[in-house]
């Protein structure tokens, strides 16, 4: 592969949303950039429920009909007793996309800025080489060594790159939500433009979802440290009375499984000439497991910092640290809050979740956790022991 015989300013590992956005910005700023993907096809295999916020308004990426399957107006939160609360507008609208096409679209967009892409190319080692790195890549059984000044590791939940350069990653099973999902046809949603999220013992320490996707629905769930496998919980969920038989005639056209790293961000996301982004860095909401938008934005930040460092010929730890400063400023508070909310949610029984649901009247405009906690405590004072941290 021709892309593998050069040296580069920036090598980005992993062509998911984080890697494609990082390489896009690095190339845009004039850095000679290589994006390396182990799969033979970018976007495959999919491990995602495919809901994204309004990428057109946030990143100026057109909501292209090639990958948008459904436009979302919001979502329903469903308590174990079936109480259904609509959350509409604000941050809850967006799209359900076809990730296989979306991820490829983002990679093509990056290539149009000048990024070279190597597919079916697995990074097997990174070692310090003078002031830069030597990245070893296995492509079709051949090993290539690429010299680069900066590495951006965007290699997802199973990332091994941080450890290769001496940074700590998170590998605790209690910090990874184990997920299983069917894409099904002949199923029905409550509303074709609303997400559905189901909480409680249907998915211990996680939640179950039904997302509309045009002709199909994504039906899945994530669990942490549960007695049964995610797939067993999923098969039970499909016939759970709480969904009123809407999946009785549904049949799968695809099965997906994977992990979401919901334990919060890793301790340190950079070192000299090195940054780690996306799921690999724990840049994903611990509460919802949503990570696409965050990965994309943190990728953009990493790509911009890489571009600047190359421009100023300074890839020192201090220069690279701007990446962490910038993404922390934007997202650390949100991730810490979501982690706190998740830890509280995980302790609640079905009855307690029902009590919270019953304390909410009408639709919500946004999920204002402290406001919801206050209402719930007023109605069921026994919830104070869990919710006092939120008031
Ligand atoms: C079941 C499930 C449902 C989800 N649903 C949603 C959702 O609806 N909305 C949402 O926002 N988020 C969702 N997420 C989370 C979302 O999928 C991730 O946060 C997002 O994909 C992170 O992007 P990324 O670029 O960091 O990593 P990934 O998208 O995982 O991309 C990493 C890339 O790196 C490649 N790679 C790995 N190792 C190497 C290597 N050694 N060499 C070369 N390439 C390598 C991989 O092949 C992959 O292409 C879900 C997660 C799961 C598991």
Inform me whether the pLDDT recorded for 325 exceeds 90: yes
What percentage of the chain exceeds 90 in pLDDT?
82
**Peptide bond between residue 241 and the one before it cis (omega within 30 degrees of 0):** no
Rounded to the nearest integer, the mean pLDDT of the chain is 93
292 belongs to an annotated ligand binding site: yes
Residues 6+ apart with CB under 8 A from 368: none
Mutate to test the pocket of ligand 1, among 1, 38, 143, 269 (most ligand atoms within 8 A of CB): 38
Q: Residues 210-225: what's their mean pLDDT?
A: 96
CA of 16 to the centre of ligand 1 (A): 6
Binding-site residues, ligand 1, Cβ < 6 A? 13-19, 36-39, 47-52, 122-123, 154-156, 179, 181, 220, 258-260, 278-280, 284, 289-293, 295
Integer Cα distance of 349 and 80 in angstroms: 9
Mutate to test the pocket of ligand 1, among 68, 181, 279 (most ligand atoms within 8 A of CB): 279
DSSP labels, 97-152: E-HHHHHHHHHHHHHHTT-EEE-SEEEEEEEEETTEEEEEEEETTEEEEEEEEEEE
**pLDDT category, 3, cuts 50, 70, 90?**
confident
> Vertex 372, ends 206 and 70: CA angle to 5°?
55
49 belongs to an annotated ligand binding site: yes
**pLDDT category, 16, cuts 50, 70, 90?**
very high
| Least trusted range by pLDDT, from 56-60, 62-66, 190-194, 213-217 | 56-60
Of the chain, the end-to-end C-alpha distance in Å amounts to 57
Inform me whether the pLDDT recorded for 91 exceeds 80: no
Residue 291 CA, closest ligand 1 atom number: 19
291 belongs to an annotated ligand binding site: yes
How many other CB atoms are there within 10 angstroms of residue 193's CB atom?
15
Q: Residues 333-355: what's their mean pLDDT?
A: 93
Residues 6+ apart with CB under 8 A from 122: 38, 137, 138, 139
Inform me whether the pLDDT recorded for 90 exceeds 80: no
CA atoms within 13 A on the CB side of 3: 21
Mutate to test the pocket of ligand 1, among 110, 223, 289 (most ligand atoms within 8 A of CB): 289
Closest C-alpha to ligand 1, atom 13: 290
DSSP assignment, residue 205? T
**pLDDT category, 69, cuts 50, 70, 90?**
very high
pLDDT tens-digit readout, 112-133 = 999 999 999 999 999 998 889 9
Residue 18 CA, closest ligand 1 atom number: 25
CA of 40 to the centre of ligand 1 (A): 15
User: Of 285, 154, 296, whose CA–CA distance to 222 is shortest?
Assistant: 285
Closest C-alpha to ligand 1, atom 10: 290
238 belongs to an annotated ligand binding site: no
CA of 379 to the centre of ligand 1 (A): 40
The pLDDT of residue 171 is 67
| Backbone torsions φ then ψ of 323, nearest 5 degrees | -60, -55
Q: Residues 285-309: what's their mean pLDDT?
A: 97
Closest C-alpha to ligand 1, atom 30: 156
* Residue tagged 């990958």 (tokens): 67
Cα 195 from chain centre:
16
Q: Where are the beta strands (DSSP E) in the chain?
A: 8-13, 33-36, 51-53, 68-72, 74-78, 84-88, 94-97, 116-118, 121-129, 132-139, 142-153, 176-185, 194-198, 207-213, 216-223, 251-261, 270-271, 274-276
Closest C-alpha to ligand 1, atom 21: 292
The pLDDT of residue 361 is 85
Residue 161 CA, closest ligand 1 atom number: 41
At 171, which helix (H) or strand (E)? none
CB-count burial class (<10 Å; 0-12, 13-18, 19+) for 373: buried
Strand 94-97, strand 51-53: pairing: antiparallel
**The 251-261 sheet, strands edge to edge:** 84-88, 74-78, 194-198, 207-213, 216-223, 176-185, 251-261
377 belongs to an annotated ligand binding site: no
**pLDDT category, 373, cuts 50, 70, 90?**
confident
Q: How far is CA 116 from CA 142, 143, 154, in A?
A: 19, 18, 16
Relative orientation angle of helices 17-28 and 292-311, to the nearest 10 degrees: 30
Residue 260 CA, closest ligand 1 atom number: 53
Residue 50 CA, closest ligand 1 atom number: 8
123 belongs to an annotated ligand binding site: yes
Is residue 316 within 8 A of residue 272, CB to CB? The reply is yes
CA of 279 to the centre of ligand 1 (A): 6
**pLDDT category, 347, cuts 50, 70, 90?**
very high
In our burial notation (b when 16+ CB lie closer than 10 A, e otherwise), range 304-332 reads bbbbbbbeeeebeeebbbbbbebbeeebe
pLDDT tens-digit readout, 135-190 = 999 999 999 999 999 999 999 999 999 899 989 877 677 789 999 999 999 999 99
CA atoms within 13 A on the CB side of 232: 6
| Least trusted range by pLDDT, from 56-65, 131-140, 268-277 | 56-65
CA of 30 to the centre of ligand 1 (A): 27
Hey, what domains does the chain have and what are their CATH numbers? 8-44+100-170+264-343 (3.50.50.60), 51-97+177-260 (3.30.9.10), 347-388 (no CATH)
Integer Cα distance of 146 and 344 in angstroms: 46
CA of 132 to the centre of ligand 1 (A): 27
| Least trusted range by pLDDT, from 8-12, 51-55, 320-324, 360-364 | 360-364
The pLDDT of residue 196 is 97
CA of 295 to the centre of ligand 1 (A): 9
Closest C-alpha to ligand 1, atom 27: 156
Is residue 108 within 8 A of residue 130, CB to CB? The reply is no
**pLDDT category, 89, cuts 50, 70, 90?**
confident
At 240, which helix (H) or strand (E)? none
Closest C-alpha to ligand 1, atom 52: 48
The pLDDT of residue 387 is 83
């Amino acid at each position: 592969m021709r892309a593998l015989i050069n040296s580069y300013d920036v090598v980005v590992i992993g062509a998911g949303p984080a890697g494609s956005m990082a390489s896009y910005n690095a190339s845009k700023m004039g850095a000679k950039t290589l994006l390396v993907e182990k799969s033979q096809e970018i976007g495959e295999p999919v491990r995602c429920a495919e809901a994204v916020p309004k990428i057109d308004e946030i990143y100026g990426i057109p909501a292209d009909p090639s990958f948008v399957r459904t436009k979302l107006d919001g979502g329903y939160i469903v308590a174990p007793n079936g109480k259904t609360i609509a959350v509409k507008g604000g941050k809850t609208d967006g799209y359900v996309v076809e990730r296989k096409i979306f991820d490829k679209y983002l990679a093509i967009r990056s290539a149009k800025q000048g990024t070279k892409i190597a597919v079916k190319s697995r990074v097997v080692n990174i070692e310090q080489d003078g002031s830069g790195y030597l990245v070893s890549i296995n492509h079709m059984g051949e090993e290539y060594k690429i010299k680069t000044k900066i590495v951006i590791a965007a290699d997802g939940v199973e990332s091994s790159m941080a450890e290769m350069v001496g940074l700590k990653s998170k590998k605790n099973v209690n910090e990874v939500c184990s997920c299983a999902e069917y894409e099904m046809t002949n199923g029905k949603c409550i509303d074709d433009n609303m997400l559905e999220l189901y909480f409680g013992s249907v998915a211990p320490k996680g939640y179950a979802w039904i997302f509309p996707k045009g002709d199909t629905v994504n039906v899945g769930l994530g669990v942490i440290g549960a007695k049964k496998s995610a797939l067993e919980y999923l098969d039970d969920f499909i016939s759970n009375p709480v969904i009123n038989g809407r999946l009785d005639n549904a049949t799968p056209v695809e099965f997906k499984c994977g992990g979401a790293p919901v334990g919060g961000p890793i301790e340190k996301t950079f070192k000299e000439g090195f940054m780690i982004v996306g799921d690999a860095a724990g840049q994903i909401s611990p509460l919802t497991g949503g990570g696409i938008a965050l990965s994309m934005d943190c990728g953009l930040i990493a790509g911009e910092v890489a571009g600047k460092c190359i421009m100023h010929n300074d890839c020192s730890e201090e220069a690279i640290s701007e990446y962490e400063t910038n993404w922390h400023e934007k997202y650390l508070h949100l991730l810490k809050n979501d982690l706190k909310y998740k830890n509280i949610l995980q302790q609640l029984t079905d009855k307690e979740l029902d009590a919270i649901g019953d304390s909410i009247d009408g639709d919500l405009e946004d999920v204002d956790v402290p406001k919801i906690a206050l209402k719930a405590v007023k109605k069921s004072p026994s919830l104070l022991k869990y919710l006092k941290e939120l008031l």
